[in-house]
Amino acid sequence: MRNSNKKQSNSIALNTSNEQQENIASPLRRATPQIQKKDASRKLQNNSLIDSTVSTNPSLSIDSKVKVFIRSRPLLPSESSQESSIQISKQDNLLVLNEGNYSIQTNFDKAFVSQDTQIQVFQEFQDPIAQVLEGYNFTIFAYGQTGSGKTYTMFGSDWENMTSKSERVQKQQTFFEQLDTDENFAGIIPRTIYYLFNSVEQKKKENSNLNIQIYCSFLQIYNEKIYDLLQDNNLNKPLGIHESKLDGIFVEGLSEYQVLHYIDTLQLMKRGERNRTIRSTSMNAKSSRSHTIFQLIIETFDESQQDGGNIKRSRINLCDLAGSEKINKSEVMAGGHLNELRNINLSLTTLGKVIHSLSSKSKLPIPFRESKLTRILQESLIGNTITYIVATISPSIDNLDETVSTLKFAERARHITMSIKPNQINSKDDEIVKKLQKEILYLKEILNMRRKGASVNDIHTKFLKLQAENEKLKKDHVSLKQVEQLIEENRHLKSEIQQLYMRESMQKDNTHLSNSYKIQSFEDIDSPVKSLPSISNSTSNDNHISTANASGSTKNLSQFLIKNNSERYSGNNIKSQFSVGSSLPYSHSSNDRSINLGKYNTNIKSYSFVNKSVIDNVSSSNVIRPNSFLGINQISHTPVNIRIKGRQEYKIQNGFIEMNQQDLLQQQKNEKEKKRILERLDQLERIQKYNQQKLQKELDILDSLEKKPANNIKTYSLGSQENIGHYPSKMSSYQQFILGSLQQRQQKSLKNYEFKIKDLERRYFSVNQNSQK
Ligand SMILES: Nc1ncnc2c1ncn2[C@@H]1O[C@H](COP(=O)(O)OP(=O)(O)OP(=O)(O)O)[C@@H](O)[C@H]1O
């Protein structure tokens, strides 16, 4: 044990009394644990397991305590040289930390140690996810010092960084296909997505009238600014936080993507993860420098209740906080790093203060507004939300202070109680109708202004004016169906605006979209597999789909889906919405908006058509067989990325496919290069194998030669009669020469191949990464 960690007395118990004024989130302060003899180490008084299970009766509002789990990671290879580490074990929900003569024991709602798998951790989250479908909000956040395992817990292991090609492929498969059997790989977010979609399927089976829509968004807070991780990968456009009576606290301008299948959602999660700001630090090679929140919004509506029914709208917030980090005076830090660190520490300190105020039931104002993080999490800490915290700790002796600090934070959070009830929107609720009408007016105004070339400032001024005007909106009684339509229209307009903004920011980036493509229309399919959508050739120069081969061809989908269209997008002629299928097998919902193409090929399983209204250029005799399509199943009216075999990436929005010509060329180049490398790799692997076999054979021959006394080889006595003539103690110089040169030659060639293979793998990895950007 290092001297600096030696303490004077033997046992530590956490003091979490409400009077304690210490700022627990600051990593810069040393923990001041209460010290006791080990024998007398006391357990915390509050041992009861807090049950935040809520009633599904929507009229009931009940009290729910924040649930706190603790998770300790194993020692990392870089820490294994340490003389000693903190011994962390658990007894039921009691976490026990032993370090030399010191001991810390404290109770949590659940304790996880290094042997506990990702599946075991996730099992604790299944109940509240089921509650989300009843209209309850649910937040999970991972808290802990840098390098303690927050990202591992929330997202999963860093498999993409693994070097072995075969392992990468296997992990990729696991990620998308075997979440329920994989124990250690995927973290809480992918599992939540998977579980949620399965639960939705189950619910729909139980009640075929249920219409459940899922949307997702992903944001990061970096240096006290909020960015959309799905739209803004260059930190170009910080977003603002607003509060409204109906929506509560929300981030204005954050994109919401409608998602139809878990694979699409995972793709979006991966896209956002790639855009996250990370840095290599002394504690963690891939340290998250921003707080991220992955949000799933679930809207449930019973179609059998025409009037007077309810729409349930709930949220799942999955937060991976940036970790606190000490400012290391001996280490030279880049200016940016220091700034990040200050901002991270500031927001975590504020979170600590907020938790302290809430747990001590202080009468003083709670400092939610002191940081963006606490402002966004406000509703998860005092609002209508089931909240779980996973506090992560490290067993490294060097991190003892931070570990104690995390435990104190976690213990305090357990004292927070919230009153929760399901979120329901009633069609007779004038507030919601007013709000939707207001928003639609506002959005229409903005769209018109944008089309006429108005600036963002003009629009903001107009917006303020509109807000005032819209207060006067008349009260109408509308049906639930109408409310749904209003929501749809609203969403549609928002996505148009999003697209406009996106284009603007892309133009600013000097990223010129050299081609704009539009998909005009598809047929809505009533019964799966019976008839398939098809597309006919469009010869005109208008916005129609071009079909390179429309009758049963197996050509690349891109060939018949898209057509170079010089005309720019105009919001008025959006006629159809569609989503394209996933490359992985799944059975889509049985409602009339989807179709299973599984019968026709294995790559694409589902098409979804949302809008029946317009059918252009579609004949039912032809069959689409997009078997080379490795796309994701996505919505149409918010931007989505689609991958087509060969990994070109397209953006689809409002029935448009857009692609950057330069990107496309680069992608194609990358693909060619990758293919070439893979072929060369295969070839080299074959040669290497052949050489190994050859070497082995030659060695075997020499071995047998060595054992056999050849006539022309002198044998030597080893002093024992039996050995004479059988085991020559010395090979002939000829044999030695052959063996030596053979070995040398083979070793050289094997090394050469090994080197070449490594080099190719490295190049493949870098090309692959480039093509995923
Ligand atoms: N339970 C675990 N089992 C195995 N390895 C783990 C576990 N938890 C974390 N690790 C490993 O520890 C390292 C640091 O973990 P991670 O990046 O999740 O930390 P973090 O708390 O998110 O750090 P930061 O705040 O700097 O982003 C990673 O290499 C990760 O794979």
Give me the mean pLDDT over the 532-550 stretch. Answer: 28
CB of 324 within 6 A of ligand 1: the answer is no
Q: Is the CB of 74 under 6 A from ligand 1?
A: yes
Q: Does the C-beta of 73 come closer than 6 Å to ligand 1?
A: yes
Q: Which of 116, 220, 284, 318 to mutate to test the pocket of ligand 1 (most atoms within 8 A of CB)?
A: 284
**H helix and E strand count, the chain:** 15, 29
Give the dihedral of Cα atoms 369, 374, 377, 382; nearest 10 deg: -70
Backbone φ, ψ for residue 94 (5° rounding): -90, 125
Nearest residue by C-alpha to atom 8 in ligand 1? 149
Q: What are phi and psi of 163, to 5 degrees?
A: -85, -30
Rounded Cα distance between 532 and 624, Å, is 7
Between residues 257 and 606, the one the model is more confident about: 257
Ligand 1 and 150: CB distance under 6 A: yes
Instruction: Judge residue 712's burial from the number of C-beta atoms within 10 Å of its C-beta, 0-12 exposed, 13-18 middle, 19 or more buried.
Output: exposed
Residue 566 binned pLDDT confidence (cut-offs 50, 70, 90)? very low
Q: Would you state the pLDDT for residue 563?
A: 26
ipTM of the complex: 0.99
Asked if 619 and 536 count as a contact pair (C-beta separation under 8 A), the reply is: yes
CB of residue 289 inside a 6 A radius of ligand 1: no
323 is in an annotated binding site: no
Please answer whether residues 239 and 217 qualify as being in contact, where contact means their C-beta atoms are separated by less than 8 angstroms: no
Residue written as token pair 């990392």:
76
The Cα 485–Cα 437 span in angstroms is 11
Q: Which of 70, 79, 150, 152 to mutate to test the pocket of ligand 1 (most atoms within 8 A of CB)?
A: 152
581: confidence class by pLDDT, cuts 50, 70, 90: very low
| 319, 385 contact by CB (below 8 A) | no
| Cβ(399)–Cβ(145) below 8 Å | yes
Contact 597, 585 (CB under 8 A): no
**In this predicted structure, which of 399-403, 505-509, 562-566 has the lowest mean pLDDT?**
562-566
- The residue whose CA has the least distance to atom 15 of ligand 1 is 149
From 75, 151, 392, mutation site for ligand 1 pocket: most ligand atoms within 8 A of C-beta: 151
The percent of residues above 70 in pLDDT, for the chain, comes to 44
For ligand 1, the distance from its centroid to the CA atom of residue 41, given in whole angstroms, is: 30
The residue whose CA is least distant from atom 14 of ligand 1 is 147
Over the stretch 111-149, which tens digit does the pLDDT of each residue have? Answer: 999 889 999 999 999 999 999 998 899 999 999 998 899
CA dist., res. 525 & res. 457, Å (int): 44
Band (548; pLDDT cuts 50, 70, 90): very low
Out of 29-38, 64-73, 410-419, the most confident range is: 64-73
pLDDT of residue 127: 92
* Three-state secondary structure call for residue 46: coil
Q: What angle do CA 578, 584, 589 make, to 5 degrees?
A: 55
Within a 10 A sphere around the Cβ of 150, how many other Cβ atoms? 27
Average pLDDT over residues 227-231: 89
Provide the CB-side half-sphere exposure for 32 (13 A, CA): 8
Q: Residue 640 in contact with residue 653, Cβ under 8 Å? A: yes
Position 535 scores a pLDDT of: 29
Confidence of residue 195 (pLDDT cuts 50, 70, 90): very high
Q: CA-to-CA distance for 240 and 487, rounded, in angstroms?
A: 22
Least confident of 135-149, 370-384, 557-571, 683-697: 557-571
Q: How confident is the model at residue 741 (pLDDT cuts 50, 70, 90)?
A: low
Predicted pLDDT of residue 427: 56
pLDDT above 90 (res 442): no
Backbone angles phi, psi at 659, to 5 degrees: -150, 150
Q: Which of 129-138, 237-246, 571-580, 690-699 has the lowest mean pLDDT?
A: 571-580
Q: What share of the chain is helix, strand, coil (3-state, %, to 5)?
A: 40, 20, 40
Is the pLDDT at 499 greater than 50, yes or no?
Answer: yes
pLDDT of residue 256: 82
395 lines ligand 1 (CB under 6 A): no
- What is the CB neighbour count within 10 angstroms for residue 766? 12
- Do residues 128 and 386 touch, judged by C-beta distance below 8 A? yes
Which pLDDT belongs to residue 766?
A: 73
> What 3-state class would DSSP assign to 298?
strand
Is 148 annotated to bind ligand?
Answer: yes
CB neighbours (10 Å) of residue 48?
A: 11
- Average pLDDT of the segment spanning 482-501: 63
pLDDT band at 715 (very low <50, low <70, confident <90, very high): very low
Q: Which of the two residues, 671 and 230, has the higher pLDDT score?
A: 230
More confident residue, 414 or 447: 414
pLDDT at 292: 94
Q: What is the pLDDT of residue 498?
A: 59
What span, in angstroms and rounded, lies between the C-alpha atoms of 156 and 270? 11
Question: Are residues 110 and 120 in contact, defined by beta-carbon separation less than 8 angstroms?
Answer: no
Gap from CA of 761 to ligand 1 centroid (Å): 26
Is 288 strand, coil or helix?
A: strand
SS3 category, 174: helix
Own/partner contacts of 582-588, CB < 8 Å, gap of 24 or more, are 582/261, 582/263, 582/264, 582/606, 582/631, 582/632, 582/633, 583/263, 583/629, 583/630, 583/631, 583/632, 584/176, 584/177, 584/263, 586/261, 586/262, 586/263, 588/260, 588/261, 588/528
Does 660 contact ligand 1 (Cβ within 6 A)? no
pLDDT at position 126: 93
Q: For 42-153, where are the E strands, in sequence order?
A: 62-65, 67-72, 87-91, 94-99, 102-107, 110-112, 137-144
Q: Check residues 586 and 239 and name the one with the higher pLDDT.
A: 239
Task: Please name every residue paired with 640 in a beta bridge, in sequence order, or none if there are none.
Answer: 652
Percent of the chain surpassing pLDDT 90: 14
How many Å lie between the centroid of ligand 1 and the Cα of residue 157? 8
**pLDDT confidence tier of residue 105, bands split at 50, 70 and 90:** confident
* Residue 626 near residue 620, CB atoms below 8 Å: no
Has residue 475 got a pLDDT over 60?
no
In ligand 1, the atom with minimum distance to the C-alpha of 184 is 3
Nearest to 560 by CA among 575, 582, 580: 580
pLDDT at 273: 87
146 is in an annotated binding site: yes
Highest mean pLDDT among 17-31, 182-196, 643-657, 709-723: 182-196
Report the CATH number of the 11-426 domain: 3.40.850.10
Query: CA-CA distance, 390 to 320, in Å (whole number)?
Result: 10
Q: Measure Cα distances from 260 to 131, 210, 591, 632 in Å.
A: 20, 15, 12, 10
Task: Say which range, 69-83, 234-248, 676-690, 718-732, has the weakest mean pLDDT.
Answer: 718-732
Query: Is residue 145 annotated as involved in ligand binding?
Result: yes
Residue 635: pLDDT band with limits 50, 70, 90? very low
Kindly provide the b/e burial profile for residues 373-383, where b requires at least 16 CB atoms within 10 angstroms of the residue's own CB.
bbbbbbbbbbb
